[in-house]
Amino acid sequence: MARVSDLGIDLGTSNVLIYQKGKGIVLRQPAVVAIERTTKKVLAVGTEAYKMIGRTPGNVLAIRPFRQGVVSDFELANTMLRNFMSQLIGKRFFARPRVVLSVPTGVNESEKSNIVSILYDAGVKRTQLLDRPIAAAMGVGMDFRKPYGCMIVDMGAGVTDIAVLASGMVIEAASVCYGGDYFDDAIIRYLRKKHNLLIGERTAEEVKITIGSAVPPTSGMSCEVTGRSLLSGLPKTQTIHATEIYEAIKDAVADLIESIQSVLERTPPQLASDIFEDGIVLSGGAASLAGLPEAIYGALHIPCGVADDPQTSVVLGCGRVLDDFNAYKNILTDSRRGVVR
């Protein structure tokens, strides 16, 4: 029986994206599993589980098996990936594909081993690892193999990878927690403190997308937000203005910018000069926050832009490796034997 085409996988905190060689992106689903609280029975995976977030009865939990680039629940991660892989390869055991998997900069060897084990159980024959910043840079079309500095900031829900690349390698990098979830948590805390309004993660994300901004908003945008009153315990709808959400997340944005500056300060001067000239590229789903390039430019005076489709940058980079494996095999790490040569 023919083997399924090789796959490129982006295991994000909030979404899983899979690229199949010759077909492009074949799966894009939320990284969520819904279980029954007492029996731990799996009720839904992916999109159907995501719909349950904030809308489930007390006996149902909607859980993300990955947090900040690592496995937070091994069993549920296994269940989720088995479900996704079965959608692609079915029950054809002998059709086990090979995989290029992106991993955040800060993931240690033990955490990498856990993820590789889960993929093997889910039906993968062999996993080769690709640094997430390199995958993102490839996905946005950066030519980082020249002796010329370039900078990518890949912003996921749980982790932001900041990296300076040159001569085909990572020169300086940092993996920080200032991603989409960090902004959402700031919004939740702000509304709780100012309006005595308790909202969930999903509502906070919707507010951020609708009226969130990393710079002071120039319009009087607002939206209606429904949560639970901390005073009465009853449902409450509150009008929230864009200026309030800016106030809620401005410190979180400042933390992100400080991390970018820290990486630049450790970068060799000539490569840093290249970046000041050519700018910074933002990728990842959280990079879509309105005004973020302007906020970075205002603080660092470096041009900054967002990838055309930031959420797919990493998985497209994995796909680019699959499509021309011999040209890029030197940047992969084999999960069994070290660097592939």
| Beta pairing class for 304-306 and 280-283 | parallel
Strands of the sheet with 24-30, listed across from one edge = 24-30, 15-20, 7-11, 98-103, 126-131, 333-334, 338-339
Least confident of 90-94, 252-256, 336-340: 336-340
Radius of gyration over every alpha carbon of the chain, rounded to an integer in angstroms:
21
Q: Give the pair of three-digit tokens for residue 165.
A: 């690349």
Q: What is the pLDDT of residue 336?
A: 56
For helices 109-121 and 74-89, angle between their N-to-C axes, nearest 10 degrees = 40
87 C-beta neighbours (distance < 10 Å), count: 14
Provide the mean pLDDT of the chain. 90
Q: What is the pLDDT of residue 339?
A: 38
Percent of the chain with pLDDT strictly greater than 70: 94
Q: In terms of Cα–Cα distance, which of 1, 179, 30 is closest to 92?
A: 1
Q: What is the pLDDT of residue 189?
A: 98
Can you list the alpha helix ranges (DSSP code H) found in the chain? 47-50, 74-89, 109-121, 132-139, 180-195, 201-211, 242-265, 269-278, 292-300, 313-323, 325-328
Q: What is the pLDDT of residue 335?
A: 62
Which element (helix H / strand E) includes 34?
strand 33-36
Q: Is 13 exposed, middle or buried (0-12, 13-18, 19+ CB in 10 A)?
A: buried
pLDDT tens-digit profile of 275-297? 999 999 999 999 999 999 999 99
Taking residues 53-75, what's their average pLDDT?
Answer: 81
Taking residues 38-45, what's their average pLDDT?
Answer: 91
Q: Is 341 exposed, middle or buried (0-12, 13-18, 19+ CB in 10 A)?
A: exposed
What is the number of helices (H) and of strands (E) in the chain?
11, 20
- Which has more pLDDT, 341 or 329? 329
Q: In terms of Cα–Cα distance, which of 29, 4, 134, 38 is closest to 83?
A: 29
Q: pTM of the entire structure?
A: 0.90
Q: What is the pLDDT of residue 47?
A: 92
**Cβ-count burial 126-145 (b if 16+ within 10 Å, e if not):** bbbbbbbbbbbbbbbebebe
Q: Is the pLDDT of residue 2 over 90?
A: no
Least confident of 52-66, 186-200, 216-230, 327-341: 327-341
Q: In terms of Cα–Cα distance, which of 75, 74, 83, 18 is closest to 46?
A: 83
pLDDT tens-digit profile of 157-216? 999 999 999 998 999 999 999 999 999 999 999 999 999 999 998 899 999 999 999 999
